[in-house]
Amino acid sequence: MEDVVSLEAGSATAQVALYGSTVIAWRPKKSTESLLFMSKKDVAGKPYRGGIPLVFPLFGAVSDHSDVPQTLSKAPRHGFARDRRWKTIDFNGDRVTMSLTTQDYPELRDGYPFDFELHHSILLTETALECTLKVKHLSSSQNDEMAFHALFHNYLALPSQSTKVAGLQGRSYRDKLQGGKVLQESQDTCSYVEPKDSVYLGGAPTLRIGEAIELKRSETLPDTTLWNPGKEAGDGMSDLHNGGWKEFVCAEPGHVASFVHLAKGQEVCPPLCASRVLLLLGC
C-alpha cells in the first residue's frame, strides 16, 4: 500500500499521507506551488510539521484544560490521530476516505477507554480542498459518553510577518501565551507579528486569511486557533528548519474550547467536524 495518496481535479492536485491522514500538499489550479507549508526538517516518529495534521481526542496538553474528564487524563498532547497510520477505505481520483478505528488499534483503548471509528474524507476540486471528519462512538464501549476535542491544524504557506486574518472582530479569545486569559478582539484583522497562540470562540463562518485564502467551517467547528511560534520558540523547534516560522501561519478550525460528548452508538453526521479551505482569488 502506498504511503501517500495523490488526488487530482483538473489541474489541481493534493497529496494525503496515511501517516496521520495528513494532507501534506494542496495545489489548486493556477497555483504553481502548494498552499500548505511543510517543514524541510523531518524528525522520525514525529507528526508532520506542516500540511493539515488532525488533532483528536485532545487539543494541547491535559494541563491546558480545567475540564479534562478522567477518560482523557492519559491522552498525549494533541491526541493520537496525527501519529498513527490510517487506512484508505475509499478512493476515487479526486476524493479519498481514510479510517482510524479501535478495531485496527485495540491498544488505543488502554489510554482512551472507548470503541470508536474516525473517518476522514478529503475532496479536491479545482479551487478548493474540503476535509470532513466523522466520529462514531461504537455501542461496544465500556463508557456511555465519549468526550473529545477535534481540530484541523492547517499550516498555510503564508508569511507570518504580514498575513492578516479577517472575520474575528468582537470575538472573545483565550490567549494561551497569557495563561488562557480571556480577551476580546478589537481589531478588524488579526496578525501574527508577535508569537501568537489564541483560541477564538466563535466568529464568522468564513474567515479570510491573507489575500487569497478563505477558510470555511461548519457549525460543528465553533473555535479557531491562530498560532505561530515566533522567532525564539520557532528557531528552537527540532522539527522546523531555521527561519521556518516566518513561512507559515496556522488557522485551525476545531471544537476545542469545550469537549464534545458523544453518546454511545450515536453518530454525528453529516458532518460532525468539517473544515473547508478554498482559494478565493487568483483562480
Which sequence positions are flagged as catalytic?
Answer: 153, 252
For position 264 contacting ligand G6P by CB under 6 A, the verdict is no
Nearer to ligand G6P, 78 or 136 (CB): 78
For position 41 contacting ligand G6P by CB under 6 A, the verdict is no
Residue entry with cell 465553533: 222
Report the residue from 41, 95, 109, 176 that binds ligand G6P according to the rule CB under 6 A: 176
Nearer to ligand G6P, 77 or 216 (CB): 77
Spatial neighbors of 176 by CB under 8 A, at least 6 apart, are 60, 64, 197, 198, 199
SS3 272: strand
Q: Can you tell me the distance from the alpha carbon of 82 to that of 104, in angstroms, rounded to the nearest whole number? A: 15
Nearer to ligand G6P, 34 or 225 (CB): 225
Report the residue from 114, 192, 227, 245 that binds ligand G6P according to the rule CB under 6 A: 227
What single-letter DSSP state applies at residue 36? B
Closest by CA to 194, choosing from 172, 153, 226, is: 226
Site string for ligand G6P, 180-199 (x = CB under 6 A): -----------------x--
Report the residue from 27, 78, 120, 137 that binds ligand G6P according to the rule CB under 6 A: 78
Q: Can you tell me the distance from the alpha carbon of 10 to that of 29, in angstroms, rounded to the nearest whole number? A: 8
Q: Can you tell me the distance from the alpha carbon of 160 to that of 69, in angstroms, rounded to the nearest whole number? A: 35
Q: Would you tell me which residues interact with ligand G6P (CB under 6 A)?
A: 60, 77-78, 176, 197, 225, 227, 250, 252
